[in-house]
Chain A
Amino acid sequence: MRNISGESFEVRLEEDNRTVFFKGALRLSGMEDYAPILEMLKGTLMNPGAPIVFDLRELDFLNSSGITMFSRFVIEARERADVSLQFLASESIPWQSRSLKNLQRLMPSLEICLD
């Protein structure tokens, strides 16, 4: 398990190396600050064939730099034919129903499961 956390957030890569759990409010100041998280996410692309799951159901807030981080990851993932990607989201968290669909436009096979 690997963990990156700050005052308002936690990002945790589970032992299976393909499930990432996000919690809190991610409002870091730019791509430089998001780089360690993005590198951790890219680590999931090392397991060909296994679906990658991002559990966002406790991520209450994401700023536009965070959206940029996810779009960078999605664009890298879509280049790989063997990668399938699933986002677990919650309808009760407004940004998720509003903004995740933009990532789906980048990668149509991206599956978004809304609770």
Chain B
Amino acid sequence: MMAPDRILGDYGNSNERCEYLTLAFSPLSVPLRTRWRNNGLSADFLGDYVTTFLPAASETASAGKHQAEIRHAVTYIANELLENAMKYHAHEVDIPIRLRLELADDRITVSATNGAVAGQAEHYRTFVERIAPENAGDLLVRQLEDTAAGNGSAESCLGLLTMMNDYGAKLGWRFEQHGAHPGVTMVTTRAILPLKDRCGERA
């Protein structure tokens, strides 16, 4: 049985006073395959949205490169989180999938929340407990070898490892039992992108 309300990794805190944007999707409204196209559109939207809050690309060449890097990182992370949330959501219950973007001076946070049946949530939790920032690179190469050998279950976790290893994201997870559906665990995966250069570039 899943222990309720567990937090793992670098989960951080939500700051309600910062800029944020939440998108919600009802899993029952259209089939997953039809929904898939929306994942890309939503991820692209979040990537475009954050650029408004970064130094203008026209200011300097380095600002332009920085903006393109952040925009891509947000798009990649949002796309991966949303793909996983869609794939592993408990489809038989009407619980919305949420994608949230938070903008603070020193970081951008992207998180996705979905309802998962208890066994699926437990499987995911067991995997994320093995991930630590210092072993993400080695784990990533091992996962690439595993998935190439046909171990399909490792496939979705590859996205998490690339976020950490390739984009420097800090990841955290929250597992909570759903109040109205005891067999469903609400799983939130949160990726934090530090923005050390943002103020410096603006000055």
Q: Check if A99 sits within 8 Å of B33, measured CB to CB.
A: no
Number of interface residues of A (CB under 8 A): 28
Q: Check if A94 sits within 8 Å of B141, measured CB to CB.
A: no
Main secondary structure, interface of A, reads helix
Report which residue of A64, A72, A74, A103 has the largest number of chain B beta carbons within 10 angstroms of its beta carbon: A64
Q: Does A63 contact B (CB under 8 A)?
A: yes
Number of interface residues of B (CB under 8 A): 31
The digit string for B99-121, where 1 denotes a CB below 8 A from any CB of A, is: 00000000000000000000000
Residues of A within 8 A of B32 (CB): 29
Residue in A63, A105, A106 whose beta carbon sits within 8 Å of that of B79 in the complex: A63
Q: Does A21 contact B (CB under 8 A)?
A: no
Given A75-B145, A98-B166, A64–B159 Cβ distance below 8 Å?
yes
Q: Check if A29 sits within 8 Å of B148, measured CB to CB.
A: no
Complex Cα gap A87–B14 (Å)? 41
Residue in A27, A64, A92, A93 whose beta carbon sits within 8 Å of that of B39 in the complex: A27
Complex Cα gap A74–B149 (Å)? 12
Q: Check if A94 sits within 8 Å of B68, measured CB to CB.
A: yes
Given A7-B37, A25-B40, A102-B141, A64–B72 Cβ distance below 8 Å?
no
Complex Cα gap A67–B33 (Å)? 20
Main secondary structure, interface of B, reads helix
Q: Does B63 contact A (CB under 8 A)?
A: no
Query: Which parts of A66-96 form the interface with B (CB within 8 Å)?
Result: 67-68, 71-72, 74-76, 92-95
Q: List 9 A-B contacts (CB under 8 A).
A: A8-B40, A29-B87, A63-B79, A64-B159, A72-B147, A76-B148, A92-B68, A98-B167, A102-B166
Q: Assuming A29-B33, A67-B162, A99-B162, what are 19 further A-B pairs, CB within 8 angstroms?
A: A8-B40, A25-B40, A29-B32, A61-B75, A61-B76, A63-B76, A64-B155, A67-B158, A68-B147, A71-B144, A71-B147, A72-B147, A75-B144, A94-B68, A95-B166, A98-B167, A102-B140, A102-B144, A102-B162
Which residues in A have some Cβ–Cβ distance to B below 8 Å? 7-8, 25, 27, 29-31, 61, 63-65, 67-68, 71-72, 74-76, 92-95, 98-99, 102-103, 105-106
